[in-house]
Chain A
Amino acid sequence: MPKTLVQEFTKGLWQELPPFRLVLGLCPTLGVTTSMENGLGMGIATTFVLFGSNILISMLRSVIPSKVRIACFIIIIASFVTIVELLMQAYTYPLYLKLGVFIPLIVVNCILLGRAEAFACKNNVSSSMADGLGIGIGYTLALGSLGAIRELLGHGSVTVWGHLSYNLMSAFPSYHPFTFMVQAPGAFICLGLMLCLINAIGD
């Protein structure tokens, strides 16, 4: 049964929420979520690449020979990643520096190749667009929320974007920042506990 565009869009927000439900794209999920701003920035960059590559791949799906399709997908994805890299260097240079190696690594993010292979090369342009946008926004929200939790516990404050921020210490003066959460081991443990929570709610 063909799904409506709304269904294609919303499945990315819960049913197939990338890092939690599909357990794909974990490297940026762990690596960049030291703050909410980084998480959101990474999510938006990935969404852009996913949206663009999904559209282009579904447009070209009858032209790409099936034997070399993976190579074609990778080249298309890599082109969009290069666009994002150049755009970020031009407009959000501080964020580009903070995300560092993870921006070129969007190329090897399993979500992108996964969506290209499982969805975009079999469906028409409009549903691929909805799918790419849904999965991308789900991914952004997941990274943003993980970043917010880690930043809140680790630094005692959250910066949403620019000057919009919340300080936990002003509400609870006795709170002592728990630096462990923004360091490497905290990333694994925080994500593990979040997966556990999502599993407990979902089932």
Chain B
Amino acid sequence: MGYFELIIACVFVNNILLAQFLGNCPFLGTSKKMETAVGMGMAVIFVLVMAGTITWVVYAYILVKFGLVYLRTIAFIVIIASLVQFVEMFLKKSIPALYAGLGIFLPLITTNCAVMGVCVLNIDKEFTFLQALVASTFYAVGFGLALVLFAGLRERILLARVPKPLQDTSIALITAGMISLAFFAFQGMV
């Protein structure tokens, strides 16, 4: 598979939120306002690119080499958690403006299954290093895209009169289903 196809597959066809169902908690949690959605999207792109490549390197050069493949889950979650902590401290010290924007979203990323999910998928699909880098970047872009689209719709839903049992999460899920249906049309493109 060429890199162009890989990009299209990651952003649209196998969209991490709408086709693979990873990272749905922040998807529903941070999409009530456009501002928080953009912040979360940026934070995920920032962390996922690093986490995807670092976990790939650790898996290929440490876990496989020493026959420790069964420790994958523990190793990955520890890497992601410490990476998030490190990024947070680094941003606080050196780029305070970016920290102010991403700040509260960074700790939430540790338990975002999209990050862990992409790291595991990169390994399961036996990607090369460059493919893993491209896939991590564009899965994250797809996450951001879906989140921002969804936040735009949810802001409009706030103005609508929704029947009481359907309010909040319920109508949000049905709306997400509609966006997912739109993304479903990309199936078969690659």
- Please give the residue numbers on chain A whose beta carbons come within 8 Å of chain B beta carbons, in ascending order: 23-28, 30-31, 70-71, 74-75, 78-79, 81-82, 85-86, 100-101, 104-105, 107-110, 113, 183-189, 191-193, 195-197, 199-200, 203
Mostly, the B contact residues are helix
CA distance A114 to B48 in the complex (A): 23
Query: Which of A28, A85, A195 contacts B170 (CB under 8 A)?
Result: A195
A109 neighbours in B (Cβ, 8 Å): 113
Look across to chain A and name the residue whose beta carbon is closest to the beta carbon of B18.
A184
Q: Smallest CB–CB gap between A177 and chain B, Å?
A: 17
Is B72 close to A, CB under 8 A?
yes
Beta-carbon contact of B74 and A27 below 8 Å: no
A23 neighbours in B (Cβ, 8 Å): 28, 169
Q: Smallest CB–CB gap between B71 and chain A, Å?
A: 7
CA distance A197 to B166 in the complex (A): 8
Query: Which of A74, A79, A192 contacts B177 (CB under 8 A)?
Result: A192
Is B3 close to A, CB under 8 A?
no
Beta-carbon contact of B23 and A82 below 8 Å: no
Look across to chain A and name the residue whose beta carbon is closest to the beta carbon of B75.
A78
Stretch at the interface among B58-66, B114-122, B129-137: B114-122
A78 neighbours in B (Cβ, 8 Å): 73-74, 77-78
24 interchain pairs, CB-CB under 8 A: A27-B24, A27-B25, A31-B20, A71-B81, A74-B78, A82-B71, A82-B74, A101-B22, A101-B121, A105-B22, A105-B117, A183-B184, A184-B18, A184-B180, A185-B178, A186-B177, A187-B21, A187-B180, A189-B177, A192-B169, A192-B177, A193-B174, A196-B165, A203-B164
Look across to chain B and name the residue whose beta carbon is closest to the beta carbon of A33.
B21
Beta-carbon contact of B165 and A85 below 8 Å: no
CA distance A79 to B70 in the complex (A): 11
CA distance A61 to B171 in the complex (A): 39
CA distance A24 to B4 in the complex (A): 35
Beta-carbon contact of A31 and B173 below 8 Å: no
CA distance A174 to B170 in the complex (A): 31
Beta-carbon contact of A27 and B173 below 8 Å: no
A28 neighbours in B (Cβ, 8 Å): 21
Q: 16 additional contacts, CB 8 Å, given A70-B110, A74-B110, A195-B169?
A: A24-B25, A26-B24, A27-B23, A27-B113, A74-B78, A75-B74, A78-B74, A82-B71, A107-B116, A108-B112, A185-B177, A185-B181, A187-B177, A192-B171, A192-B172, A195-B170
Query: Which of B19, B74, B173 contacts A189 (CB under 8 A)?
Result: B173
